[in-house]
Structures are given as C-alpha cells and as structure tokens.
Amino acid sequence: MNPDFAAPQRQSKKGIIILALIFYGKLLKNFWFVVLYILFKKKEYTVELLILLAIVSLVFVVINAYIKYQYFTYELNFQDDEFIIKKGVFNKKTILLEKGKIQEVNINQPFFHRILNIYQLEIDSPGTDKKEIMIEAISNENAQYLRSFLLERKVSAEENLASDIQKVPQIKISISSLLKYAVTANYVKSFFALISLVIYFTQQVSKNFNLDLETYLKNEVAYTNIGSLSIFTFITAFLLVAVFGILINVIRTFVVYYHLIISKFDYYLSVEYGLFNTKNQLINRDKVQIITITQNYFQKKWNVLHLKFNQVGEENSKNNSNNILGIDEKEKNNILEFLYNELPIFDNRIKPNFRYIISRTVALIILPVKIGFFLFSENVPVLLYSIFYSIFAAVIIYFSFNNSRLSYNEHFIEKQSGIWDVEQKTLQIEKIQTVTISQYFWQKRSDLGNIFLSTAGGSIKMKTAKISELRNLANYCLYKVESSAKNWM
C-alpha cells in the first residue's frame, strides 16, 4: 500500500547520508585551497589542524543535511492535479507544478544510492534547461507511483499501480551487441578525445615538472629529418591512436550503457541502463517529435544501429537516455511500430540537384586551395597537400550528395544525410509546426530552393532541390496539419 501522498511526505531517512555527501562535495570544490594551504605551510600542528578541519566540516555537513531533510516535503494535490514541494528553513519556498505541464519524470540510481537501495527522482517541465525538482532519496515503489501519476493518469492516493510495475515486454541489449556498436561508432569523437587527453597530460607534466616542452619540441623539429622517418612508423603511430580511440569508446559505452533494457508499457518506452549509475527515463509515444536512426557500413554488416528520440523541447538535447545503442533491424522495427502504430514505408523521394556538388566544390575545394597557394606557397609543398586535400574533400562531397534525400508518404517525412555515419530522421507530418521555403538569389535562375520543417523537438531541412517539388510537399504538409485531428503531442 502506498503512503497517503495527499499529506506532506519526507524523503527516505537514508537521504541524510546522500545530502551530506552532496554538500561535502560542494565544500571540497569551493574550499580545496584551504587544505592545500595547510599542507604546504608545513607548520608544527599541520596534522592536528587537518583532523580538526575534517571533524568540524563533517559535523557541519551532517547538521546541514539533517535540516534540509526535515524542511523538505512533497505532496500531491489530487483535486487540482498539482505536485507541491516545500523547502527552506528561513527562506521558505513552495513550488507548484501542474501535472499537465510536467515534461519528464526520471528515476535514477547513482552509485551511492545503489549502495543504500534508494532512488533519485527528477521532474522537469518546459521552459528551462535544468531539472525543476530533484528528490534525492525515495523508494522505488514511491518513485514509480509518483511518475505514473504525474505522467499517465489521475489516481487516488491509495491506489496501487502494480499494473504499471508488473512484467512488461522488454528488449535487452546484449553485451555482444554493445561491443559491436562500440568498436564501430564515434571514431572522430574518440580520436579527438584521445588527442585532448594527450594535450592535457602534456600540459600538466610541463607545468608540474617545470619542463619547457615547447622549446624542446622546436629544437627536435629543427634537428630531425622528418623525411627519414619510415612509412611504417607513421602507420604504427596511426594504428596505435586508432586502437586507443576505439578502446576509450568501448569503455565509455560499457560504463554508460551497460545492462540497457527497453520496456514497453501502454503509452511509453522505459529506457534503463548504467553500470555504476543506473538511469531510467520514459520516452512518451505522444511526445516523440523526431526519431533518428544512425548506421555506418560496418554496423550495417553487423546488424547494429543507433536510435535517438527527440521529445518536446529537446532539439539540442545531449541526454544519454534519449539514445538506444546496439539494437538490430528487427528490434528497431519493433520500436518504430510501437511508437508510430505502423512501420513507415516511403515511395516518394526528393534528391538534391547536381548543383549541390558544384556549390560545395567551390566552397570546400577551390577556395581553400587558392587560399593555401596564396598564404603558404613559399614555405610548404602546397601542390602535394592540395592534391591530397582535394581528393579527400571530393570523396566527402560525393558521399554527402549520394546519401542526401528527402522521402515522404501520407503520414511521415524522412530526411537521410551523412558521409560515413548515415542518419535517417523521421517525423510525423501532423507534428510539424513550421514549414519554411527559402531561395537564395543564385538559385532562382535554376529553379532550386530549400525547405525547413520544424517541430517542437527539432527540425529537418533539404537544400538545393527543385523548388516546385518542395512547394508541393510544403502545401501537402500544411494541409495535413490543418485537417488532421491529431495533436502535436
């Protein structure tokens, strides 16, 4: 039986430990220099001072945590469908959140919460980048009850929501699928992350050991014949960087997404994952605006892909909970059918005009090569570099053009783009909020234009396509939005 949420409720008593740890972390972050000052002063009573400081700070954080626990309550107003938070000792604060305006309710279990067998509840509403409410210590049963009430339907304080917590259809991502995805994804991110780590480590070594690495490297470059280095050396260095980059991505993927489970309820998906910090977020079927499917050549061969969901207000969201990694084609179709009640099949396609290649060749090849000859012709072999760069850029332009297309049917629009990682963004026409047709002055003569389709969770665009086709699509979208009885959320 759930507690009477119509009356003020406090967090779990174990939350005092969590609140103390959080406040203690803030103290260390803001006053770490005091500890360093005492250590480096090396006075007679250094150890005693540190022990005294530790005891005083510990007492202080425990008292602070207990006060926050005592003066933090939450309750449900069932009559007005509101969630009420009261907190503060001297500056008392009351927060009222209307049930209909609540965007997300997430249940997480960070590392220390897992040890104490308690959970963290995050409540968010539109109009802010941060979480509105954070209940740091709550039981899983109470968290599930609150989430079900705030997101699903009106229930009484005594009603048991066992039907929402019972066993439901699940998709479990295996370790082998995660491994396949991890070794074939985020090459560029992993490479730059490794380079950044090397640069940071080099700076710290130089700073802490008083090494003038800049002068040293300049001298080494001046007296080293780079041409004498073998091709084998460069290939070995490149392979080492690639292997370390992949290793970093594998470790990150396993730490963040370990034990990834997607549960299918009546109106939403529940995504749960995490090795040390367990997170759980709902993907509401009605609030999903854009679904992005990402897959490269190796992932296609291994039958793994990446799904991303943009819900209302999440156009630029980097929330990991909106991502499902390592699923196969069958599982992807299963999820799409659940969210859309059908599997989108597209018969109509709009491809960019060949002038797409011309404009990007001018911007990415001709202009950079000319600037390179103008600035560096006396110092470096620009011709050789320009040839390699032009071939590389030409390959990028070709694949970008070849993979670009806009597909549509009676209810859906899909935009495909990408060079190596090919993205397919799908949205329901009824959820479009803005349709914009634009045409640059140099496109008028060739009857080309661009279209931008915006939703509450992001947008898709198609550039350098035949403007008559884009106008027909825009008119159809506006007709469907105006005539459809469906809401955008």
422-473: pLDDT as tens digits: 999 999 999 999 999 999 888 888 889 999 999 988 899 999 999 999 999 9
Q: What is the pLDDT of residue 475?
A: 93
CA distances from 197 to 200, 385, 405, 434 (A): 5, 28, 38, 42
pTM beyond 0.85: no
Would the pLDDT of 222 be above 60?
no
Per-residue pLDDT, averaged over 86-94, amounts to 86
CA pair distance 173, 181, nearest whole angstrom: 11
Encode pLDDT of 128-141 as tens digits. Answer: 445 568 899 998 88
Burial of 117 (0-12, 13-18, 19+ CB in 10 A): exposed
Contact status, residue 487 vs residue 473, Cβ threshold 8 Å: no
Per-residue pLDDT, averaged over 162-171, amounts to 63
Per-residue pLDDT, averaged over 295-299, amounts to 92
Of the segments 76-90, 97-111, 210-224, 345-359, which one has the largest average pLDDT value?
345-359
Would the pLDDT of 399 be above 90?
yes
Output the average pLDDT for the chain. 81
Per-residue pLDDT, averaged over 410-423, amounts to 93
CA pair distance 428, 484, nearest whole angstrom: 11
By percentage, how much of the chain surpasses pLDDT 70? Answer: 79
Q: What is the pLDDT of residue 454?
A: 92
Would the pLDDT of 181 be above 70?
yes
- Here the tokens at position 399 are 């694949």
Lowest-pLDDT range of 118-127, 141-150, 314-323, 329-338: 314-323
Q: What is the pLDDT of residue 1?
A: 46
List, in sequence order, the alpha helices (H) in 297-381.
297-302, 329-340, 355-361, 367-376
Contact status, residue 406 vs residue 349, Cβ threshold 8 Å: yes
Contacts of 154 (CB under 8 A, 6+ apart): 78, 81, 99
Q: What is the pLDDT of residue 314?
A: 64
Would the pLDDT of 307 be above 80?
yes
Q: What is the pLDDT of residue 190?
A: 61
Lowest-pLDDT range of 184-188, 285-289, 412-416: 184-188
Per-residue pLDDT, averaged over 161-177, amounts to 72
CA pair distance 126, 417, nearest whole angstrom: 29
Contact status, residue 120 vs residue 110, Cβ threshold 8 Å: yes
Compare 14 and 163 and report the one with higher pLDDT. 14
- Here the tokens at position 154 are 């009106």
Encode pLDDT of 243-273 as tens digits. Answer: 777 888 888 888 889 989 998 887 788 888 9
Q: What is the pLDDT of residue 231?
A: 62
Would the pLDDT of 230 be above 60?
no
